[in-house]
Amino acid sequence: MDSHVVPETSKVSPFLLFYIIISIQIGVGVLGYQRVIAEHAGYDGWISILITGIAVHIVMWMMFKMAETTDGDIIKVHQYVIGNIAGKIISFLLIIYFMLYILVILLNYIQVIQIWMFPDLSTFWYTLAFMALCTYVVFGGFRTVVGVSFFGMVLPAYLLITLVFTFRYSNFTQILPILDHSLIDLLTASYHMSLTFVGFEIILFVYPFIKEPQKSKKWAHLAVLVTTLFYTFLAILTFAYFSEGQLQKTVWATLSMWQIVQLPFVERFEYIAVANWNLIILPNICLSLWVASRLIKRTIHLKQRKGTVIIAAIIPLITLLFKTGEQVQKLSEITQKITFGFVFVYIPLLFIATMIAKRVKKQ
C-alpha cells in the first residue's frame, strides 16, 4: 500500500473547505490593504478587488482540474508532469514559500501590536510562543487544524458588526465618479491586492484530505466569493469614511475605523480588535505550518512531527534578522512578488503542462 494514501479517518467533509479557504485568505492584510490599492487606483480600488477575485476563481478552477487529473496533491502533479526526482526538488522549494508566508504574517502582525499596544514587545519571544502553539495544533493532525480554521473564522466574526459605527460618519458619494482611472491603474492595484488574497492555493496541498473532493468545488468557489465581497465591502466603507488625503496618511485603515467604536464597557475598542487578530492569524499559520511539514514528509521522508518542530524552531530565529519596520516592508514586497509569481504565473503554466502531459499519455 502507498504510504502516502490518506486514511479515511484523517479526511474532512467537503463543506469544511469553505472555512479552510476563508480562514487562510483573511489575515493581517485586512488591517491596511485599503491604502495600498487607493495609492494606485484611487477610490476605484474596489473594482481592482473584484478583478482579483475573478482571477482567483479562474486559477482555482485550474487547480481543481490538475488535482482531479492526477488524483493527488501538487507533488503528484509535479511527478506527473516532470517525473519523480525533478518533481520532488520543485516541491521542496514550496517549503521555503510557506515558511516565508508564515514569517511575513507574523512580522506584520507583531509590528501592529508594537505600534498600537506594546512598543517593547519582543518579536523573538512572541514568535517563539506563537509557533509553539501552532506546533501543538499541527501535532493534533489535519482535522485539528481544520477545527482551528473553523473557530478562527467564526469567533472573531462579531468584529464585522462593530463596523456599523462608521456609517454615521461615512459619505458614500466620495467613491464617485466610478471608473475615472485607467485599466493599467486598476490592474496595478489588483496586483498589490494579490498578497491579501493568496492562501487559496492550499487546495493543491489539502486535496487528498477531502472526502469526495468533487463536492468541495462549490464550497471553495463560495469561499472566494465571500472573501471577495468582504474585501470589497470593507474597501467601499473605508473610502466613504476617509478622504483620499486622510487615507494616504493612515497605514492601518481598518484599525483606525475601530477607534470610533465606543461601548459602555470598553474605551479603546481597537485594542480588542488587535488582540482578536491572534485568532484570525492562527489558522493562517497553522495551515501553512501543516503544509510545509507535510511537504517535508513527502519530499525527504522525514516524519511530519519532526518537520513541524524544525520549521517552528527556524522561524523565530529568522525574525532576529528583522530590526526595523522598513526591513519588514521590504520582505513583504519581495513576498508579494513571489506569491504573485507562484499563484498567477506558475500555477497556470503548470496547468497547461498537466493538460499537455495528459494528452500525451493518452496517446
Report the b/e string of 184-200 with b at 16+ CB within 10 A: ebbbbbbbbbbbbbbbb
**Do residues 192 and 40 lie in contact, with contact meaning Cβ atoms separated by under 8 Å?**
yes
pLDDT in tens, 307-345: 999 999 999 999 999 988 899 999 999 999 999 999 999
Residues with pLDDT less than 50, the chain: 1-2
Give me Rg for the CA atoms of the chain: 21
Q: Quick one: how far is CA 138 from the chain centroid?
A: 18
User: How confident is the model at residue 2, as a pLDDT?
Assistant: 45
Q: How far apart are CA 250 and CA 196, in angstroms?
A: 18
State the cell numbers at 355: 493538460
User: How confident is the model at residue 168, as a pLDDT?
Assistant: 85
List beta partners, residue 283: none
pLDDT in tens, 230-284: 999 999 999 998 888 888 888 888 888 888 887 787 778 888 888 889 999 999 9
User: How confident is the model at residue 42, as a pLDDT?
Assistant: 82
Mean pLDDT of the chain: 90
Closest CA to 329 of 95, 26, 32: 32
* pTM of the full structure: 0.92
Domain ranges within the chain, ordered by starting residue: 10-357
User: How confident is the model at residue 167, as a pLDDT?
Assistant: 84
Closest CA to 191 of 94, 304, 49: 49
**CATH number 3.40.50.620 is the correct assignment for the domain at 10-357:** no
State the cell numbers at 48: 481592482
